[in-house]
Amino acid sequence: MNTKQELKKTARLAGLLFLLWIVSGFYDMFYVSPKIFVSGDPVASAQNILKYETLFRTGIFSGLVTNTIWVLLVWVFYQLFRSVNERYAKLLVASVVVQVPVAFVNAGLSIAAVITLKGEMLKSFELVQRQDIAMAFLKINEYSVLALVLFYGLWLFPLAILVYQSVFIPRFFGIWLILNGVVYVLLSFVGIVLPEYRDIVFTVGMPAMFGELVFMLWLLIKGTRDKSVTAT
């Protein structure tokens, strides 16, 4: 970075992209999914997919948008932090980029579920059979997301280290982001290994999971502190 002003602009751009990333992700998580999926009732869920097909498809597309924004966000973070520690900045980029292909495969599984339910493929199968196959696609998708949750946590570790080592962002954000990352790793573990404890971990870990949100708001509003970056 050449000037403090450029550093601040880059930080605020990161905050803006962070905000768009969160909003896009929340759209599917808190608006689309609750309208579509009925816990413990795959038949009702399948019927809702057909009933609210356009809504369901917007949720799929929002996932693609979310991951596209994430790539842009992590690139801006690289620009912001490479003078702090380029090795960790590259690790930050790598920990996000490796997730994107899986996210796009998941989108394909969701589309496959829709066209299976509509009878656009497997036409010789009965409706009940197509519903079972469509739910299988979505169940695979669900467990893929649980695997990705591990990386939702891992990408925060190099980010937290970079924040902590920098002099232009308060260090407590680095500590908070580490805790945030640990919760995501635990959620991935219990979601796959001990699913009956997932809600407990989510509830207990909720305060730590606000770390990303508060960090985003600080970047968006404040940008950076009025100090120059120190290379390490």
**What pLDDT does 223 receive?**
86
Residue 161 scores a pLDDT above 70:
yes
- Residues with Cβ within 8 Å of residue 18, at least 6 apart in sequence: 73, 212, 215, 216, 219, 220
Model confidence band, residue 227 (pLDDT cutoffs 50, 70, 90): low
Q: Residue 105 half-sphere exposure, CB side, CA atoms within 13 Å? A: 12
Residue 212 scores a pLDDT above 90:
yes
**What pLDDT does 217 receive?**
94
- Residues with Cβ within 8 Å of residue 190, at least 6 apart in sequence: 197, 198, 201
Number of domains in the chain: 1
Give the residue numbers spanning the domain of 81. Answer: 4-221
Q: Which of 32-46, 154-168, 175-189 has the lowest mean pLDDT?
A: 32-46
**What pLDDT does 29 receive?**
87
Residue 127 scores a pLDDT above 90:
no
181 in a domain, yes or no? yes
228 in a domain, yes or no? no
Q: Do 165 and 84 touch, CB atoms closer than 8 A?
A: yes
Strands (E), the chain: none
This prediction has a pTM of: 0.87
227 in a domain, yes or no? no
**What pLDDT does 40 receive?**
78
